Structure 1
Amino acid sequence: MRDRSRGVVRPFSLRNARGSAAAAAIGIGAALLATPATAQDASEDEEVELDTLRIEDRTADVNPNAEPGAPYKARTSGDVRITRPIAEMPNTMQVLTESYIEDSGYTDLRPLLDAQPGITVGTGENGNQFGDRYIIRGQEARSDVFVDGLRDPGMTTRETFAVDQVEISKGPNSTFAGRGTAGGAVNLITKQATTDYDFVRADIGLGTDRYVRGTVDANFVLGEDLAVRANVLYGYTEVPDRGPADRERKGAALSATWSPGDAFDITLDYYGLRAHDKPDIGDYLSGDGSTGNRLPVETPPYAQDQDFMRSHVDVFTGRVNWALSDNVKLTNRTRYGMSDNGYVVTAAAGNTTSATGPGGAYPTITFSTHQKFQKVDYFATQTNLLISSDMMGGKNDLIIGAEYTDHSVKNGNWLNTNTGAFNCRTGTAAGSALNNYCGIGADGRPVSNLNSLLGRSIVRGAVNQDYHVETLSAYVMDTLDITDALTVFGGVRFDTYDYSLGVTGGNPPAVTQYEYSDSFWNGHLGVTYELGELGMIYASVATAADINGGESDVGTNAGYGGLLLVDGELPDAIPERSMLYELGTKLNLFDNRFLLTASVFQIDKDDVFEAAGSGYTPTGTGNTGANRTRGFELGLAGNITPIWSFQGGLTVMDAEITKSAANPLRVGKTLSNFADFQASLLTRIQPTDAFALGFAVKHKSKRYAGQPDTAPAFTTRPDGTFFYNQPVPAYTVGDAFVEYRFNENIEFRLNANNLTDEKYYLAAYQSGRFLYKGDARQVVGTLTLRY
């Protein structure tokens, strides 16, 4: 099973085989015409090369980490610090390949991740409202998204038009990622220019709900040493069945690579995204909170004309790879990024008009406003020295690395004035004057001007939170083959940081400044034992640490990861600590084209920061909480036959609060936004070279809304039993697609997502005030042109 061809300093280059598009075409033809006998006579390197060229016949923009012959299976990680194939690593890593992303029909990162077992999504009120927010194995991960191994700190909308693959590491991961990562991390591997060959690919999509999407991916070799690549995006759609709520995307990713030889290359790239949405907050929970009988209430599409959510992202990255010798390689990734995320959105809730008002009393919905803006500036640089050698008779991959990050965030509020005329009266006070905005009229129908009812006037306000974290890190990682079958993986990391938060409040406004410094160690240790050619078994332990005030979007809202104070003062707190224990197996089947994984795990999180009251208050009890997650995870990715591909898995998990000084009644309760059972599967069948079809299904069990790292809101009955107040119903949703390839240059794919038009919900706010809806059925056709 072990892939001896994967080395930390071996350059990936096909220049000698294909220096141009013509050479690529010759190589593809040779691969298609090769007989089994000629393939058997060829060398090992030639066999790998021919397999790779066959995959290029389907997609011009080859992902260098892909497994030849298995479009849903990644062979290697895009992180240079992971020096062995994914099938040999002692941890759970789920990879979503470009082919999987295309076939799924999802283009934003949030619906892609929500479909994966072990991951749920969360909501926010006036913090991270619609920026991507993920929860992995029950632990908050909204700040644990990385791009090519560097943290991406902006609370933004994330797109996939410039992504080769999405790598989801599950379990504490601070040796690789630094602070946070209590439940895991998400790493996006981006498309880069290559000097190997030219290609141009264009995708044009049209669909229901006014869907239109166009992308271009073009790579041009300007000489033996220089290449440029451009990815361009425009997309628009109304939110299915919720118009006028809509989503618009404009993006560009530009990359230039200079590679004067196999030993050295420099890449400079730019990524820009403009995501302009009119968001839909969705429905809400209603019912008898004293019995727990709360159910979703469906609402008409009520997004206001002035509502918006904007994510503007600009990122510049430089990359250097330098093979100092056959066994030593130096890499550096340096990035400067900016993002501006802002929104003003509307939420609906049930209400009843006043019996004393015009028309008498009738049930209706009224509205609330939620808003925030966030400006992020960050700098990061990461250097790795990779040394490959033979030690104790086996291969040894040693990594010595250092990282510096400077992360600055300014948060503020929008000033909103509703200028529309009141159209109803609510409340119990006597009188007939109108005093509110009602979305449902006395006839039980939406009012005629529902989407312009509030008539908002919006002005950007002043910054009221100034967040800054500067971090310096150093780490050592080693992978050592003790015997042909036994391999040990280990690493340690030291992080030291300076934290500051300035909060503006009061009348007249005054700034309160909080500052502190701290440091922590983390590590991981894993052992794998190879079971012949079939696969391996492994055991691993790993740690993670997070800091007081680690979330940049919430200031001193301690219940949501903001800075926690005790008696109004900054406490002498220690970092939160997470420990992973995992046993598992990985079986590389069907000529290494299908990976079956299984693991059992436990995550213990201690020294958890607890807020004393609601999530809005900075007051807390310090490092007084603890929780535990246990579970089983099964994963599968790849081909069981040349024509049948799979990607999917399931998780069965149990979460429990094990300690709480803030509220001892929380002990024994589950974690907020946590699904006990999740499963998903996407499968593709290609009976002929021209035709393919597939379907997908995803299921999530019931979840309960609440604050991160603690129990959902609950009520204790007189007999001592309890119920959770804010349930999010379980759901099962199915998708389907068909694809037809007319020739090597033209193909067409039809996706039908949410095929049966199920009504389902992704997440709820802790009070049930809003309930994010999953998208209704949408049908999209995409024409792909290749040159």
Structure 2
Amino acid sequence: MRRTTNIRRPVSLRQRATLAAGVSAVLLAQPAFAQDAEEEEVQLDTLEIKDHTADSNPYTVEGAPYKARISGDVRRTKPLAETPATITVLTETQIEEAGTTDLKNIVAMQPGVTIGTGENGNAFGDRYIIRGEEARSDVFVDGLRDPGMTTRESFAVDQIEITKGPSATFAGRGATGGAVNSITKQASTDYNFNRVDLGIGTDDYYRATLDSNWRLSDAVAVRANLLYAQQDIPGRDPADRERWGAAISGTAHISDSVRVLLDYYHLTANDKPDLGSYVTPSTADGYGQPLDDIPSFTQNEDFLDSDVDTFTGRIFIEPFEGFRIVNLTRYGETSNGYVTTGARGGEDGVEIGLSTHQGWQEVEYFANQFNVMGEFATGSLRHNVIVGSEYSDQKVVNGTYGYTINGESNCEGRRGPGYCITDDSGAIIVDDISGFLDRDIVRGDADSRWHVETLSFYAMDTIDLAPWLSVNGGVRLDAFDYSNIVTGRDASVTNYTYSDELWNGHAGVSVKPLENLMLYANWGTAKNINGGESDLGANCGYGGLCITDDTDLNSGRPESTTSYEIGAKWDLFDSRLLLTAAAFHVTKDDVYEIASGSSGYDQEGNINTGKHRVRGIELGLVGNVTDRLSGQIALTVMDAEVLESYDPANVGLTLANFADTQATGQIRYQATEALAFGGTVTYKSEMFAGQPDTAASFNTEAGRYSYRVPSYVTGDVFVSYKISPNYSARINVTNVTDEDYYTAAYRSGAFLYKGDERRATLTLTGKF
């Protein structure tokens, strides 16, 4: 089956002239065959011309705004309904109507995905956990890795694709639980268009975006997406968020068989972040509870700043039908720096003291991906082959900030004088909380210089043995050179270097007992290098370099994941509704652990001593239930268990920041031609704090997990109205019940990320 991009183009002037000439010829010829009309009645098909704007998502099914037909990754050669894997796709329309904009918030709403916390360049939750596995470095844009712990926005995105299950054949190192791939908006030679969105809302919410496409000729076009956004975090003043963004795309059809795409992307995100609350420790009497009414403790000098600049070039060559060459090249630089304030509770869980969390990171990367794709037959077998290579050079520099607290201490902290905003009765004892610490901040030197070069080769084939039977398989080799120059707390400098090769593969079979029903079974593997997460230097507590006492890296094996999945996909109603079901079993071996007691910051004991498994089911529905009712509904029920650990007490425990049951439903109802309304409901079951990928922290004295993140249900609603063919309005209310809910916990329970309180916004859209 030849892969198309589903781009609908209007009838050109030349086509219209040809059509008119054809109709005229038919009319002029009437007398010539009128005498035969009585003998034979000629019935012509009705010609229907549809006008479809070029600014819409080219990957969706026409008339089903929530249902994507194909992936934006050129290596996914089959339609999504025929792809034997669990891939959740969030379309542009769905993202807009949900009222979410940051990638973190969009992805966190999806079943099977939670977010985590961390330090040193990754403190504010821009990290994902997919099916229980760490995935913060498994973020991609248009099929190329997007490194760096930065803020990511959706203003230039056509759709977001979340692949669940090991994806190393496509993604390379890592991708043990899955991957997140954003598909960006591209220039179109269809025709000129402009779209402006202006938003205003509660808590000083302002957002403006511009999407303009200029068709310079039949072969050349340029598209610009611009963003400015500012908002206070509801109920958490002085915490706020600000965004500046630009995405410029150019396309040129060099010939009928050669097309070139060039992209530039920039985002500046300046936030004054809010670390939310904290949860009290569990006791023998029950789990500790979050402090829902804790006041905002963000300091005036707090910041979380991200800058992203990337350049991407793509060449598409199709010398003849069934054969394509696609080359992608990207160079990018990102930076992320923060000084944030956290809250800690006293032993009684009431007295609230403030703490400082800080770090900075700079990333420079280059990547080139080369793909050759062919569709051909060998006898009765139909092949869909992909052979490719990828080279990447990624450099990451991490450092810290020095700071001096000028405010007066008023309590005893863990390490000496402390800074408390309440007393042991819970009463506020500070008049100006946001100016309490009054810190002087100075950027410090680098303490880690991480560098990985990777050369990869892969080959994949999907073979149609019969119209109802297909098999697929692939293999990938990632050969890398690793170095990490780490400056210790005692100012000692150590240079860790090593090289290795990672082999991964996948295989599966698909059966179609009915034309639109596919049953499949697949197997896949993934591996991550020892030290694969770049933001923690020589500390493997959050995925940094994991070493033994003698720094013999050869004893540090890569983490290895194996997954089995069986599933079904049923495409109904002229491919406008897709039902999916999958059961999966994921096992991860050689998991990095810190066997150094409670501190977690000393390289002692064993490494690669952990093993765990995650199994579960996922059910989904996406598309049009009726002509007026659309939606995407998904449910994931999972179970995680630690199977092996250096500490026998960890065996049998669940994983940290892992929700057993998750469900999301987003629906829209087209009441009239002009009026549509709908909403989203999200449920996540309780989770427990701890180090990602390992056992949740357990209090043996209390007989329960140390820190719990309670389950929650949130709801969002929207109403949109088409004022005229060119103008429309949409009202969104997020967290409509003003629920106090929490999305993740720091592994020691020191702080607890709080979801946004209720917000209402009005967005006016103009197209011209």
The reply to whether residue 406 of structure 1 matches residue 396 of structure 2 is no
Note if 1:255 corresponds to 2:249.
yes
| Residues 1:675 and 1:13: Cα distance change in structure 2 (over 3 Å) | closer
Q: What's 2:486 paired with?
A: 503
Residues 249-300 of structure 1, C-alpha deviations (whole Å, 9 max, x = no match): 1000001111133311111110000000000001011145455531112310
Query: Per the alignment, do residues 401 and 453 of structure 1 end up closer, same or farther by CA in structure 2, a change over 3 Å counting?
Result: same
Q: What percentage of aligned pairs have identical amino acids?
A: 51
Which 5+ residue runs of structure 1 have no aligned equivalent?
27-37, 354-361
CA contact (8 A) 1:292 1:725 kept: no
Question: Given the alignment, which residue of 723, 729, 738 partners 1:742?
Answer: 723
Q: Distance in 1 between matches of 2:166 and 2:548?
A: 27
Matched, 1:705 2:689: yes
> CA 1:629/1:563 → structure 2, altered by over 3 Å: closer, same or farther?
same
Which segment is superposed worse, 391-400 or 406-415? 391-400
Distance apart, 1:474 and its partner CA: 0.4
Structure 1 segment 310-709 matched on structure 2, within 5 A: 310-351=305-346, 364-422=351-409, 424-426=410-412, 435-440=417-422, 444-445=427-428, 447-507=430-490, 509-572=491-554, 573-613=556-596, 614-660=599-645, 662-709=646-693
1:672: Cα distance to partner? 0.8
What is the distance in 2 between the residues matched to 1:656 and 1:532? Answer: 37
What whole-Å deviation, never above 9, does each CA across 1:131-169 have from its counterpart, x for those lacking one?
A: 511000000000000000001111101100000000000
Contact 1:696–1:736 (CA<8 Å) still a contact in 2? Answer: yes
Which residue in the other structure is 1:154 paired with? 148
Closer/same/farther in 2, CA of residues 462 and 19 from structure 1, 3 Å limit: farther
Given that residues 15 and 195 in structure 1 are in contact (C-alpha distance below 8 angstroms), is that contact kept between their aligned partners in structure 2? no
Q: For residues 515-567 of structure 1, give each alpha carbon's deviation from its aligned partner in whole angstroms, at most 9, with x where no partner exists.
A: 00000211111211113233111111111011100100111121211111112
Q: TM-score, normalised by structure 2?
A: 0.93
Closer, same or farther: CA 726–425 of 1 in aligned 2, 3 Å: closer
What amino acid sits opposite 2:383 in the alignment? N
Q: CA deviation at 1:21?
A: 14
Q: Distance in 2 between matches of 1:428 and 1:483?
A: 68
Structure 1 pair 486–449 and aligned structure 2 pair: CA distance change class (3 A): same
Give the conservation status (yes or no) of the 8 Å contact 1:20–1:221. Answer: no
Query: What corresponds to 1:121 in structure 2?
Result: 115
Q: Which residue of structure 2 aligns with residue 752 of structure 1?
A: 733
Residue 83 (structure 2) aligns with:
89
Change in Cα spacing, 1:246 to 1:785, as seen in structure 2 (3 Å) is same
2:181 to 187, 199, 204: 187
Confirm or deny: 8 A CA contact 2:281 2:706 kept in the other structure: no
Q: TM-score, normalised by structure 1?
A: 0.90
1:307 aligns with 2:290: no
- Partners of 1:14 and 1:730 lie apart in 2 by 44
Contact 2:280/2:707 (8 A) holds in 1 = no
Q: Does 1:770 align with 2:751?
A: yes
Q: Work out the CA distance in 1 between the residues paired with 2:473 and 2:347.
A: 62
Distance 1:393 1:288, change over 3 A: closer
Q: Tell me how large the CA RMSD over aligned residues is.
A: 2.4
* Paired residues of 1:19 and 1:196 also in contact (CA < 8 A): no
Q: By how many angstroms is 1:449 displaced?
A: 1.1
Displacement of 1:617 = 2.7
Give deviations 1:206-225, integer Å, cap 9, x for gaps.
00010000000011100111
Tell whether the 8 Å contact from 1:204 to 1:783 is kept in structure 2 after alignment: yes
Is contact 1:194–1:219 with CA below 8 Å preserved after alignment? yes
Distance 1:287 1:89 in 2: 45
State how many pairs are aligned: 740
Verify: 1:99 aligned to 2:81, yes or no.
no
Paired letter, 1:345: T
Aligned ranges 1:160-199 → 2 under 5 Å: 160-199=154-193
Q: Is the 8 A contact 1:514 1:570 kept in 2?
A: no
1:16–1:686 CA distance, 2 compared to 1 (3 A): closer
* 1:200-211 superposed matches below 5 A: 200-211=194-205
- Amino acid in structure 1 at the alignment position of 2:313: G
Q: What is the rounded CA distance, in whole Å, between the counterparts of 1:21 and 1:482 in structure 2?
A: 40
Matched residues in 1 for 2:13 and 2:506: separation? 42
Structure 2 CA distance, aligned partners of 1:363 and 1:672? 25
Distance in 1 separating the partners of 2:644 and 2:353: 39
Residue 489 of structure 1: how far off its partner (Å): 1.6
Change in 2 beyond 3 A, CA 1:524/1:19: farther
Unaligned stretches of 5+ in structure 2? 21-41
Deviation at 1:62, TM superposition (A): 2.1
How has the CA–CA distance of structure 1 residues 292 and 198 changed in structure 2, closer, same or farther, with 3 Å as cutoff? same
Aligned amino acid, residue 640 of structure 2: A
Q: Distance in 1 between matches of 2:600 and 2:223?
A: 46
Answer whether contact 1:391 1:480 (CA < 8 A) is retained: no
Q: Which letter maps to 2:504? A: N
Instruction: Tell me the distance in 1 between the aligned counterparts of 2:404 and 2:11.
Output: 65
Look up the equivalent residue of 1:41 and give its one-letter code: D
Seen in structure 2, the aligned counterparts of structure 1 residues 470 and 108 have a Cα distance that, compared at 3 Å, is: same
Distance in 2 of aligned mates of 1:340 and 1:421: 33
Query: What is the CA-CA distance between 1:784 and the residue it aligns to?
Result: 0.4
The answer on 1:780 being equivalent to 2:761 is yes
CA drift at 1:463: 0.6
